[in-house]
Structure 1
Amino acid sequence: MSTATDTTPRPMDDDGLWQALLRREALPGRFYGVTSQGIVCRFGCPARPPLRRNLRLFGGLPEALAEGFRPCRRCDPGGERAAIQAEAVRAACALIDASETMPSLAELATRAGYARHHFLRLFREVTGVTPHAYAAARRASRLSAALAAGERVADAVAGAGFGSESRVYEDAPGLLGMTPGRARRGGEGEVIRTAFGNGALGPVMVAMTARGVCAIELGGEEEALRQSLAARFPRARIEEADEAARRAVAAVIAWIEEPRAALDLSLDLRGTAFQRRVWEALRAIPPGESVDYAGLAARLGLPRGARAVARACAGNSVALAVPCHRVIGRDGTLRGYRWGLERKAALLARERGAG
């Protein structure tokens, strides 16, 4: 498991760099040249390590290019090929979004200029899902928006591009987190109980449905936290805490004080299949450890899915129980956190025993 120090450049002598190269350890900002081939690679390149006598170490890519080394085709140290491929995937996503029916994989690959199997791999690496799953998620998003706007279920299903209303009802928990009718009514008929408390990082709100905790919010006045919850469930009945909600908020506050184990709560997570996959991966990161977005994407089998993973982290509404604060930038810096970077830094410091 990577820690924050794993992703931060650090001084290292030539022997240390050589051992890191043999381990294929990714070191941000570090590059090496292979004199026998005239190529420059980033540390962590999957290619076979060179003989040490053919090794040149560089502090930056421009230095290597200035000496005539050309970028490795496998690790793409400058990111040019990755940028071209990402643009091809973005164009494919735009085509899927604009199409009434799902384009075939062959059509998408041909337009992008790749073989089908290669394009499929690139698409998964960039977006985190297959083209079919991406199209399904977009249909679900259109369906959710139409239902929230008050459209009849049959009209919303047809307008979103689903061929069968019965299929939508069958897949409703995965698509919407609730039945289409309830989604149309803004959660009407659903009871959400809220509990409030104050911990070392300020105010805490826990919201629970019958299935489990659906929100943990940090900071802000109670009324603002209630309004944020009501915006997600505009027609649900939001009530004061019952005993389960009070126990949950007490557990959250106790965990903030002493974050030494996983925050064990029953959760009601509502998101796409990909979001839930990322959230489960986040829950597997122990307190006191962290990983960068690219590292988390790699654990999910998505070596180029860092942006997709970052978007899934941003969609998390259950602070601490789904610990998106444990994901940091590749250079070790703290990136966006919906509850504030100061809280993110404080949480990480507490988990590492420095708070």
Structure 2
Amino acid sequence: MAKAKAIDADFAWRAFLARDRTHDGQFVGAVKTTGIYCKPSCPVRHPKRENVCFYATAAEAKAAGYRACLRCRPDDIARDDVAVVSALKLLAAEEPMGLEQLAAAVGYAPHHFHRLFKRATGVTPAEYARGLRAGRAEEALAANGRVTDAIYDAGYSGPSRFYAATKGRLGMTPSAWKNGGAGAVIRWAVVETSLGSMLVAATDKGICRLSFDEDETELQRRFPAATIEQGGDALAELVNGAVAAVENPANMPELPLDIAGTVFQQAVWKELQRIPTGETRTYAEIAAAVGKPKAVRAAGSANGANNVAVLIPCHRVIRTDGSLGGYAYGLDRKEKLLRAERNAV
């Protein structure tokens, strides 16, 4: 008989108290007084700690004599996971598929599957599909293919649909993306902050880079064909907002961003923006939150690919052992950011 997986009871109890969905499917809690077992995110009132024990799987809880909770339905998790994986495969096909058709194909009601899919991946099915198509187009453009060919190869029905779908994603026209920013205007400024010299650069759509210890040389490397200009009235407001984000993290302003990334990267970045000021998450928790619990290294890479430091708070992610991990602008700066945020709340 296989040995039962050991469960850290204190960790599991904290997950239940937080109703943490990221740990659903990793273990269940069994209530001795009621004889039922639940998943961590179960919405029912919590029992007393001494009345709860934990099992790695629902099967183990059943073998111990417990029955599944009718409220949170812990036995449905495996079925939900299979449905999401099946949906991801269907969406990877180049033929577009609407929510109703997708939900029917995996055996769920549309509204329920929409919620389930977003909880597992961090994005809606429509957002995921758009990201896949735009990603294909970006890859084709980066490979110096013709823009028209890239549009149809990516699965768009025509140029107008492509331009509409990528308007807020690419930040610049497809031709500019392909040609290192040709035709795009990027304005920049370097300002001093409590964290040192900070570069803020933006297109007409929003901030495309926020970094430390850099100047326009980095922008020229990233966008060799773009028009790169210093300063400007339109940039001043964004610079002031970026400085406020560093100096007063508890009241960080909402600033427009002009960034692009793969579907997975976007899901990770959205999850980073959900981390409350003064708190941290581990790389493993971020991977689980976007529906890819085994992709811890990929989550770390997506974290490192963030082009707008502080505004997408990649500094709030640490290692499982509590150590800071890495940071592109130095661990001293990461530690100062985290300390300032803890003191601000």
Select 1:189's aligned residue among 161, 167, 183.
183
> Structure 1's 236 and 42: CA in aligned 2 closer, same or farther, altered over 3 A?
same
TM-score normalised over the length of structure 2: 0.66
CA distance in 1, matches of 2:199, 2:225: 19
Task: Tell me the CA shift for residue 90 of structure 1.
Answer: 3.0
In structure 1, what is the equivalent of residue 3 of structure 2? none
Select 1:124's aligned residue among 105, 118, 142.
118
Q: Does 1:147 align with 2:141?
A: yes
> Structure 1's 262 and 71: CA in aligned 2 closer, same or farther, altered over 3 A?
farther
Q: Is the 8 A contact 1:32 1:57 kept in 2?
A: yes
Letter in 2 for 1:237: T
Task: Tell me the CA shift for residue 188 of structure 1.
Answer: 0.8
Q: Is the 8 A contact 1:262 1:287 kept in 2?
A: no
Q: Does 1:47 align with 2:41?
A: no
> Structure 1's 161 and 280: CA in aligned 2 closer, same or farther, altered over 3 A?
closer
> Structure 1's 292 and 200: CA in aligned 2 closer, same or farther, altered over 3 A?
same
1:35-87 per-position Cα deviation (integer Å, ceiling 9, x unaligned)? 3543344665223555x6x96134x536995892547456588xx86466435
1:353 partner SS: helix
Q: Is the 8 A contact 2:304 2:328 kept in 1?
A: yes
Q: Does 1:348 align with 2:344?
A: no
Q: Is the 8 A contact 2:171 2:259 kept in 1?
A: yes
Select 1:61's aligned residue among 48, 55, 58.
55
Task: Tell me the CA shift for residue 215 of structure 1.
Answer: 0.8
Q: Does 1:168 align with 2:147?
A: no
CA distance in 2, matches of 1:187, 1:134: 25
Q: Is the 8 A contact 1:31 1:42 kept in 2?
A: yes
User: Quick check: 101-110 or 327-336, which moved more?
Assistant: 327-336
> Structure 1's 87 and 217: CA in aligned 2 closer, same or farther, altered over 3 A?
farther
Letter in 2 for 1:270: I
CA distance in 2, matches of 1:238, 1:218: 18
Q: Is the 8 A contact 1:32 1:55 kept in 2?
A: no
Q: How many residues align?
A: 320
Higher relative contact order (CA 8 A, sep 6+): 1
User: Quick check: 161-170 or 185-194, which moved more?
Assistant: 185-194
1:192-223 per-position Cα deviation (integer Å, ceiling 9, x unaligned)? 2333356554543222334443210135xx47
Select 2:225's aligned residue among 216, 235, 244.
235
1:118-139 per-position Cα deviation (integer Å, ceiling 9, x unaligned)? 5444322212333333222111
Select 1:267's aligned residue among 233, 245, 256.
256
Q: Following superposition of structure 1 onto structure 2, how do residues 177-216 of structure 1 map, counting pairs within 5 Å?
A: 177-197=171-191, 199-216=193-210
Gapped runs of 5+ residues in structure 2?
1-8, 294-298
CA distance in 2, matches of 1:284, 1:89: 22
CA distance in 2, matches of 1:230, 1:81: 52
Q: Is the 8 A contact 1:40 1:70 kept in 2?
A: yes
> Structure 1's 119 and 142: CA in aligned 2 closer, same or farther, altered over 3 A?
same
Q: What is the RMSD of the two structures over their aligned residues, measured on CA atoms? A: 5.0
In structure 2, what is the equivalent of residue 134 of structure 1? 128
CA distance in 2, matches of 1:172, 1:109: 25
1:13-54 per-position Cα deviation (integer Å, ceiling 9, x unaligned)? xxxx9xx98xx544899975323543344665223555x6x9
Q: Is the 8 A contact 1:193 1:241 kept in 2?
A: yes
Task: Tell me the CA shift for residue 140 of structure 1.
Answer: 0.8
1:152-187 per-position Cα deviation (integer Å, ceiling 9, x unaligned)? 221111111100212223344224222223323332
CA distance in 1, matches of 2:40, 2:309: 34
> Structure 1's 168 and 326: CA in aligned 2 closer, same or farther, altered over 3 A?
same
User: Quick check: 38-47 or 321-330, which moved more?
Assistant: 321-330
CA distance in 2, matches of 1:269, 1:336: 24
In structure 2, what is the equivalent of residue 38 of structure 1? 35
Identity of matched residues, %:
38
TM-score normalised over the length of structure 1: 0.65
Q: Is the 8 A contact 1:34 1:55 kept in 2?
A: no
Q: Following superposition of structure 1 onto structure 2, how do residues 71-150 of structure 1 map, counting pairs within 5 Å?
A: 72=68, 82=77, 85-97=80-92, 99-103=93-97, 108-109=102-103, 112=106, 114-117=107-110, 118-150=112-144
Task: Tell me the CA shift for residue 233 of structure 1.
Answer: 2.8
> Structure 1's 320 and 148: CA in aligned 2 closer, same or farther, altered over 3 A?
same
